[in-house]
């Protein structure tokens, strides 16, 4: 049996290991924690979530929801763990982070065909198939060892949001509601409304804030999907009010009207004892973060469990280096998965691990590698990382803009999205129904 080594036990590494082991293919999974932690990790368990506890939208009429639906068809470990540890978050799939990581760790460590080794890998293994799933915070030692294989390393900056204690929130001000929720519906989000004066003071304070200095990093390149609040404020005073603080669909029960701006908080764990400030990724210093949190109505006396932090994310120039199978174009025994491969987001990272696991399962069993239809979310993701034509490749969340357009361009948006979903489901089934059970999705 071909030796298979996976470096990195995040979402992608664990998903790849699971897909292979479930097909009776043994793997060795390396994880450097707890021997060594990255600047953003603190939990010794596998598959630790850092930036958020949300795996984004759940309905398949959202591209992230469709991607999750497709992964469930392949018995995704990560999707099953998320379902088991989910917390209320409206139409989003959010999880209790600690329970989520513990669930995945227990499943991986209990599997007889997965050997988990807690040790940092600093060089590419000399034999066998290798999956590099070391994540966006790949250690300098491993990144340096991969440089001859990759050439120039690219990077951008990501950020985490603060977390506050639920029992320290002023519920006389904060109200529970989902955006555009039905009348009488008990909302999953807490909402802190701001009037124009409060918002202006908040924006001014953010703009004046002290930032954590970069530590010998390259020029800062911030990913749009995790833009720090201070970067958004720098784009204009109303950017936040039309972004993460938009009040649309959130009526303050005290006034019966939408506020000028509204800060949303999402439950961080199943017991609802902690809340995450949605969209509040930041690189402000901790004292300055505390100052701006105290300006948010309802959070004046909030107990802050975690401040936001900034960290560098490393990824490769995927279209130049990888095939649609996430396989290195020249070193065919090497595959990449997770954010280092050029995908962005938790569902996307998981999907890349699933794809790589299936591809290697086919390879080990002397079957041809296969391409997912680009009309599916899995196929669109594969196409983006291998065929993006932009001069400066950047990671991107899955979205319907990555799939081919429909023949009928006159459809309304809702009809168009429903057609995308119907086409994706049909093409997935039509393409794989004749493949061997080894890599076939769960068909109805």
Based on the domain organization, do 413 and 277 belong to the same domain?
A: no
Q: What is the dihedral of CA 131, 144, 338, 426, to 10 degrees?
A: -70
User: How do 334-336 and 154-159 pair as beta strands?
Assistant: unpaired
3-state secondary structure 165-228: EHHHCCCCCCEECCCCCCCCCCCCEEEEEECHHHHHHHHHHHHHCCECCCCCCCCCCECHHHCC
Based on the domain organization, do 383 and 287 belong to the same domain?
A: no
Give the pLDDT confidence of 385-412 residue by residue, as tens digits. Answer: 998 777 778 788 899 989 988 887 757 8
In a domain, 442, yes or no: no
Q: Are 417 and 409 in contact (CB under 8 A)?
A: no
In a domain, 198, yes or no: yes
pLDDT, greater one: 219 or 71? 71
Based on the domain organization, do 344 and 377 belong to the same domain?
A: yes
Lowest-pLDDT choice from 129-133, 143-147, 435-439: 435-439
Q: Are 191 and 250 in contact (CB under 8 A)?
A: yes
CA distance 148 to 145: 7
Burial 58-81 (b: 16+ CB within 10 A, else e): bebebbbbbbbbbbbbbebbbbbb
What whole-number percentage of the chain has pLDDT above 90? 65
In a domain, 40, yes or no: yes
Helix (H, G, I), strand (E, B) or coil at 265: strand
Distances from the Cα of 293 to the Cα of 203, 276, 338, 438, angstroms: 12, 12, 33, 51
We report the CATH number of the domain holding residue 408 as 3.50.50.60
> At which of 252, 275, 308 does a domain end?
308
We report the CATH number of the domain holding residue 231 as 2.40.30.260
In a domain, 222, yes or no: yes
Based on the domain organization, do 48 and 132 belong to the same domain?
A: yes
Q: Are 28 and 115 in contact (CB under 8 A)?
A: yes
pLDDT at 257 over 50: yes
Q: What residue numbers bound the domain in which 402 lies?
A: 4-156+313-432
> At which of 247, 278, 308 does a domain end?
308
In a domain, 444, yes or no: no
- Mean pLDDT along residues 13-34: 95
Give the pLDDT confidence of 175-185 residue by residue, as tens digits. Answer: 999 988 877 78
Based on the domain organization, do 45 and 144 belong to the same domain?
A: yes
Q: Are 441 and 376 in contact (CB under 8 A)?
A: no
The pairs formed by 253-260 with CB atoms below 8 angstroms and a separation of 24 or more are: 253/175, 254/175, 259/193, 259/194, 259/195, 260/193, 260/194, 260/195, 260/196, 260/198, 260/199
User: What is the overall mean pLDDT for the chain?
Assistant: 90
Residue 221 is predicted with a pLDDT of: 65
Based on the domain organization, do 136 and 277 belong to the same domain?
A: no
């Amino acid at each position: 049996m071909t030796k298979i080594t996976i470096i990195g036990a995040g979402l992608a590494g664990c998903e790849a290991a699971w897909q292979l082991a479930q097909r009776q293919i043994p793997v060795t999974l390396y994880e450097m924690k707890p021997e060594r932690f990255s600047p953003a990790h603190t939990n010794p368990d596998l598959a630790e979530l850092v930036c958020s506890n949300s795996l984004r939208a759940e309905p398949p009429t959202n591209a992230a929801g469709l991607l999750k639906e497709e992964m469930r068809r392949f018995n995704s470990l990560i999707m099953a763990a998320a379902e088991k540890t989910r917390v209320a978050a409206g139409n989003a799939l959010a999880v209790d982070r600690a329970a989520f990581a513990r669930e995945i760790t227990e499943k991986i460590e209990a599997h007889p065909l997965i050997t988990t080794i807690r040790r940092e890998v600093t060089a590419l293994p000399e034999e066998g198939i290798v999956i590099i799933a070391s994540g966006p915070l790949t250690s300098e030692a491993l990144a340096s060892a991969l440089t001859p294989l990759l050439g120039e390393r690219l990077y951008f900056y990501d950020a985490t949001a603060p977390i506050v204690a639920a029992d320290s929130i002023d519920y006389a001000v904060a109200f529970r509601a989902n955006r555009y929720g039905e009348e009488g519906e008990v909302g999953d989000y807490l909402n802190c409304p701001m009037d124009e004066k409060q918002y202006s003071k908040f924006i001014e304070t953010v703009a004046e804030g002290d930032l954590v200095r970069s530590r010998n990093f390259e020029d800062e390149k911030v990913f749009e999907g995790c833009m720090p609040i201070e970067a958004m404020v720098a784009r204009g005073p109303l950017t936040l009010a039309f972004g993460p603080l938009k009040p649309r669909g959130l009526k303050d029960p005290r006034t019966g009207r939408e506020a000028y701006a509204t800060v949303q908080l999402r439950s961080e764990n199943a017991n609802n004892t902690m809340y995450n400030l949605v969209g509040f990724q930041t690189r402000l210093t901790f004292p300055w973060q505390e100052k701006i949190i105290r300006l948010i109505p309802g959070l004046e006396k909030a107990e802050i469990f975690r401040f936001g932090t900034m960290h560098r994310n490393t990824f490769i120039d995927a279209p130049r280096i990888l095939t649609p199978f996430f396989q290195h174009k020249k070193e065919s025994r090497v595959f990449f998965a997770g954010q280092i491969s050029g995908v962005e987001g938790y569902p996307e990272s998981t999907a890349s691990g699933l794809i790589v696991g299936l591809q290697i399962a086919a390879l080990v069993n002397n079957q041809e590698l296969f391409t997912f239809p680009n009309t599916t979310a899995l196929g669109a993701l594969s196409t983006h990382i291998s065929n993006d034509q932009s001069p400066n490749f950047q990671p991107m969340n899955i979205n319907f803009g990555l799939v081919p357009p429909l023949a009928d361009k006159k459809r309304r948006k809702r009809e168009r999205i429903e057609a995308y979903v119907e086409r994706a489901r049909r093409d997935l089934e039509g393409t794989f129904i004749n493949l061997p059970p080894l890599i076939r999705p769960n068909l109805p």
